[in-house]
């Protein structure tokens, strides 16, 4: 009599992110890159950091990249660079990771929340104008789950009202809007290198992108205690330098970013096709956008029931 195969035996677990498999694939290259840093002992702002900055700036179609300690720091530094402080208001979306609003409050400013588009989950430009006041200093659109917000509409508003635009692209590196990379559309763009991101390090990390030379110089000072050179501090800043080891790791991984994003899109297309006739609302991709699917996000009535069902087959899910 044949043995009945249990679900646990039949189905291999499918985690949300499999960093162990990625490491196994890249192990020789990663070890070589890490060893080079260990040999050089240049652990703080070593040459790998500036190399990563220049390569990613070119990739994001901006003049400058400023590596820092995290995506959260990137957002805070961008706000500091335009002088955000008590009494200022920053327009953003409530549907994001807490860091987007947290950094606004940490600087003494007030986050003003504007609702999202129900299909893309990005901030609704049609509702931004009503939220603007004399205190509004900037707009932070979030390219949530890997898709760009409606940047033409947002930039039109910002230009008319003389308001800065800081892109929160922490989930969207490599995504494009009408053929242009995110991070190069607003005044500044911020990304995160948290390990689970499409381009993730082995610890925290982030980067700010800009094509404005004045902002670039200010951001470089802010990340290193406001210094222009050692022990000469021109302004208040913070300690937010990307470790050289992380930069070396990211330089290896960056070589695969486009192919990884392409694979994500292919898998997303398969999911959407297979779920076509199911009672599931699948992701909507705005015309002209190239989504990088940091997350494949669906809406379903019996959310918890579906999660339990998928869990029984070893398929990981999460709720935002």
Q: Mind listing the pLDDT tens digit for each residue in 264-276?
A: 999 999 999 999 9
Residue 2 is predicted with a pLDDT of 47
Q: Is the pLDDT of residue 6 over 80?
A: no
Q: Is the pLDDT of residue 9 over 60?
A: no
Burial environment of residue 36 by CB neighbours within 10 A (0 to 12, 13 to 18, 19 or more): middle
d(CA 45, CA 140): 28
d(CA 108, CA 86): 4
Structure tokens at 285: 């991709």
CB 207 within 8 A of CB 53: yes
Q: Confidence band (pLDDT; 50, 70, 90) for 8?
A: low
CB 189 within 8 A of CB 63: no
Q: Is the pLDDT of residue 213 over 60?
A: yes
pLDDT single digits (tens) 131-187: 999 999 999 999 999 999 999 999 999 999 999 999 999 999 999 999 999 999 999
Q: List beta partners, residue 67.
A: 207
Burial environment of residue 291 by CB neighbours within 10 A (0 to 12, 13 to 18, 19 or more): buried
d(CA 99, CA 111): 11
Residue 228 is predicted with a pLDDT of 86
Q: Is the pLDDT of residue 5 over 70?
A: no
Structure tokens at 187: 């005044």
Q: Confidence band (pLDDT; 50, 70, 90) for 306?
A: very high
Residue boundaries of the structural domains of the chain: 25-254
Q: Is the pLDDT of residue 302 over 60?
A: yes
Residue 1 is predicted with a pLDDT of 46
Strands 227-229 and 232-233: antiparallel
Structure tokens at 171: 């989930």
CB 199 within 8 A of CB 79: no
Residue 4 is predicted with a pLDDT of 53
Burial environment of residue 53 by CB neighbours within 10 A (0 to 12, 13 to 18, 19 or more): buried
Average pLDDT over residues 21-42: 98
Q: Is the pLDDT of residue 74 over 90?
A: yes
User: What sections of the chain are H helices per DSSP?
Assistant: 7-10, 19-40, 47-59, 71-81, 99-106, 128-131, 151-161, 213-222, 244-254, 257-274, 303-312
Report the chain's mean pLDDT, rounded to a whole number.
96
Residue 7 is predicted with a pLDDT of 55
d(CA 190, CA 146): 13
pLDDT single digits (tens) 87-117: 999 999 999 999 999 999 999 999 999 999 9
Residue 12 is predicted with a pLDDT of 82
d(CA 303, CA 51): 44
**SS3 assignment, position 68:** strand
Q: What percent of the chain has pLDDT over 70?
A: 97
Average pLDDT over residues 4-9: 54
The architecture that CATH gives domain 25-254 is 3-Layer(aba) Sandwich (3.40)
pLDDT single digits (tens) 252-267: 999 999 999 999 999 9
Residue 10 is predicted with a pLDDT of 66
């Amino acid at each position: 009599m044949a043995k009945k195969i249990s679900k646990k035996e039949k189905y291999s677990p499918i985690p949300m992110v499999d960093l162990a498999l990625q490491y196994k694939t890249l192990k020789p290259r990663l070890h070589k890159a890490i060893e080079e840093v260990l040999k050089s002992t240049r652990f703080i702002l070593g040459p790998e950091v500036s190399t990563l900055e220049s390569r990613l700036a070119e990739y994001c179609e901006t003049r400058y990249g400023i590596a820092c300690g995290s995506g959260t720091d990137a957002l805070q530094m961008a706000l500091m660079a335009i002088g955000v402080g008590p009494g200022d208001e920053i327009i953003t979306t409530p549907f994001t990771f807490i860091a987007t609003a947290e950094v606004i409050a940490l600087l003494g400013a007030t986050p003003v929340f504007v609702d999202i588009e129900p299909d893309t989950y990005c901030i609704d430009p049609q509702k931004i104008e009503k939220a603007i006041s004399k205190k509004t200093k900037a707009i932070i659109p979030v390219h949530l789950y890997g898709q760009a917000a409606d940047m033409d509409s947002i930039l039109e508003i910002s230009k008319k009202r003389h308001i800065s635009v800081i892109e929160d692209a922490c989930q969207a590196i490599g995504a494009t809007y009408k053929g242009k990379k995110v991070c190069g559309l607003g005044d500044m763009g911020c990304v995160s290198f948290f390990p689970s991101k499409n381009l993730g390090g082995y610890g925290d990390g982030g980067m700010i992108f800009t094509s404005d030379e004045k902002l670039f110089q200010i951001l470089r000072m802010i990340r290193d205690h406001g210094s222009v050179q050692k022990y000469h501090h021109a302004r208040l800043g913070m300690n937010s330098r990307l470790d050289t080891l992380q930069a070396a790791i990211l330089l290896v991984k960056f070589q695969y970013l486009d192919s990884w994003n392409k694979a994500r899109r292919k898998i997303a297309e398969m999911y959407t096709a297979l779920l076509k006739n199911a009672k599931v609302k699948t992701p909507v991709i705005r015309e002209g956008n190239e989504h990088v699917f940091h997350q494949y996000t669906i809406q379903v009535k019996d959310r918890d029931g579906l999660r339990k069902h998928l869990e029984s087959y070893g398929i990981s899910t999460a709720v935002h």
